[in-house]
């Protein structure tokens, strides 16, 4: 009741269920990949309930006698929900209305395996469907990026290409740009063959060489990047973004969210790293004058069980909260907080936003690529971008 009242107050953030069918209609001609997408994976499955805390809901405190965030520590966003205190650095984004909070993101028939569920997210498949190519791979197969781009996408700090996996896409994975430039010397720049397998290898070699010729490792940012692995990944991502040739998407990963035990300290640290990373990213994007045409989106394989376990942790769950930030993001609350009094038999909430609606928003509204092809179906877009 309170949730619904609040959502009504946010005029610019209509709920997904009522999203206008006009959403599909306005597709500009031709893909616009000058709009950058930055994906942040919260690997392990971030606990959504302690990320966006329903501090006014007594059921929340009943489910989490040890893990609940006390009301007075919550960074309140509305009369019903607020951010984990470690996310306080994101409050200015909220105030400037550049932070969209996507509540209850998930999918039907949720799978609780890390491996399978992230595969579902990465390939934008149905729960029971096995697809080989990532959703971005299919997107770039539908609408190619400009051939002069350094790459379609760059994966920072993980060898796992995730949404860029599968054939055809020009995806580069690197730990940092300096090291990549060194390794890339092992690749050979050119070649043609009638042998299909060889042709594929030669193409990937050439992709590596092209990316290496465009990327640099020495853009002098004045922004200070946080210490630690995630801070380094953000720094590398910014080096990638600083290349002059262009890249459509960059994915960074923050890992360690699988908090089956001792969740409070671990999640506080990780969310602190996330917030600091985003603040630095914004600073660097400002230096590059790219904030206005950057969309940052978080994702994860799943959220966590509302009821805490006996190890001061939480087990694998389903729907969770995610963030979208950027200079053209229409800030506010989207979707719906999980109804804690209506959990499934295994104790998990239903989803409010299908994750593929976020992808559809990226494709239809950010890049202008019609989404039904790459996503294998129509999903309503979210009105979270300003013109």
Q: Is 262 in the site for another protein (CB under 8 A)?
A: yes
- Asked if residues 140 and 152 have their Cβ atoms less than 8 Å apart, the reply is yes
User: Judged by CB under 8 A, which stretch of 52-60, 185-193, 276-284, 321-329 contacts another protein?
Assistant: 185-193
Among 27, 59, 142, 158, the residue binding another protein under the rule CB under 8 A is 158
Residue 31 or 202: the one with the smaller Cβ distance to another protein is: 202
Q: Is 47 in the site for another protein (CB under 8 A)?
A: no
The residue behind tokens 């919260």 is 42
Q: Is 198 in the site for another protein (CB under 8 A)?
A: yes
Q: Is 25 in the site for another protein (CB under 8 A)?
A: no
Task: Give the pair of three-digit tokens for residue 148.
Answer: 């002069």
Task: Give the pair of three-digit tokens for residue 117.
Answer: 């569920």
Among 31, 87, 105, 171, the residue binding another protein under the rule CB under 8 A is 171
* Least distance from another protein to the Cβ atom of residue 199, Å: 9
Q: Is 34 in the site for another protein (CB under 8 A)?
A: no
CA 369 to CA 33: how far, in whole Å? 10
- Asked if residues 259 and 44 have their Cβ atoms less than 8 Å apart, the reply is yes
Q: Is 214 in the site for another protein (CB under 8 A)?
A: no
The residue behind tokens 């089956």 is 260
* Least distance from another protein to the Cβ atom of residue 267, Å: 9
Q: Is 229 in the site for another protein (CB under 8 A)?
A: yes
Among 181, 219, 266, 350, the residue binding another protein under the rule CB under 8 A is 266
Q: Is 66 in the site for another protein (CB under 8 A)?
A: no
Q: Is 159 in the site for another protein (CB under 8 A)?
A: yes
Q: Is 179 in the site for another protein (CB under 8 A)?
A: yes
Residues 103-142 that bind another protein (CB under 8 A): 113-116, 119, 130, 132
Among 129, 261, 292, 377, the residue binding another protein under the rule CB under 8 A is 261
Residues in the interface with another protein (CB under 8 A) total 63
- C-alpha atoms less than 13 angstroms from C-alpha of 188 in its C-beta half-sphere: 8
CA 355 to CA 299: how far, in whole Å? 9
Residues forming contacts to another protein in the complex (CB under 8 A) are 43-44, 113-116, 119, 130, 132, 155, 157-161, 165-167, 170-173, 175, 179-180, 182-184, 186-188, 191, 193, 195-198, 200-202, 204-205, 207-208, 211, 229, 253, 255-263, 266, 309-313, 315
């Amino acid at each position: 009741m309170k949730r619904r009242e609040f959502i009504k107050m946010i005029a610019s953030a209509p709920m997904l269920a009522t999203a206008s069918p006009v959403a599909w209609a306005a597709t500009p001609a031709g893909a616009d990949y000058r709009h950058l997408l930055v994906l942040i994976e919260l690997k392990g499955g971030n606990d959504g309930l302690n990320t966006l805390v329903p501090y006014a809901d007594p059921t929340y405190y009943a489910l989490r006698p040890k893990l609940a965030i006390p009301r007075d520590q919550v960074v309140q966003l509305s009369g019903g929900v607020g951010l984990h205190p470690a996310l306080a650095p994101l409050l200015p984004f909220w105030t400037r209305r550049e932070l969209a909070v996507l509540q209850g993101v998930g999918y039907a028939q949720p799978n609780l395996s890390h491996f399978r569920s992230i595969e579902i997210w990465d390939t934008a498949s149905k729960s029971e469907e096995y697809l080989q190519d990532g959703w971005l791979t299919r997107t770039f197969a539908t609408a190619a990026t400009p051939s002069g781009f350094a790459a379609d996408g760059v994966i920072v700090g993980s060898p796992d290409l995730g949404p860029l996996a599968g054939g055809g896409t020009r995806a580069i994975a690197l730990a940092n740009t300096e090291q990549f430039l060194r390794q890339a010397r092992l690749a050979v720049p050119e070649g043609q063959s009638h042998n299909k397998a060889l042709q594929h290898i030669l193409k990937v070699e050439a992709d590596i060489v092209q990316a290496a010729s465009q990327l640099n490792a020495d853009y002098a940012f004045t922004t200070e990047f946080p210490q630690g692995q995630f801070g380094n990944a953000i720094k590398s991502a910014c080096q990638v973004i600083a290349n002059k040739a262009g890249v459509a998407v960059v994915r960074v990963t923050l890992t360690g969210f699988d908090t089956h035990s001792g969740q409070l300290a671990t999640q506080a640290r990780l969310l602190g790293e996330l917030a600091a990373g985003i603040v630095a990213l914004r600073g660097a994007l400002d230096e590059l004058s790219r904030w206005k045409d950057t969309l940052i989106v978080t994702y994860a394989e799943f959220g966590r069980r509302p009821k805490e376990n006996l190890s001061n942790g939480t087990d694998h769950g389903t729907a969770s909260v995610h963030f979208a930030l950027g200079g053209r993001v229409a800030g506010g609350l989207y979707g719906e907080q999980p109804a804690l009094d209506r959990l499934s038999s295994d104790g998990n909430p239903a989803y409010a936003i299908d994750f593929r609606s976020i992808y559809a928003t990226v494709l239809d509204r950010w890049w202008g690529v019609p989404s039904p092809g790459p996503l294998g179906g129509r999903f309503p877009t979210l009105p979270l971008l300003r013109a």
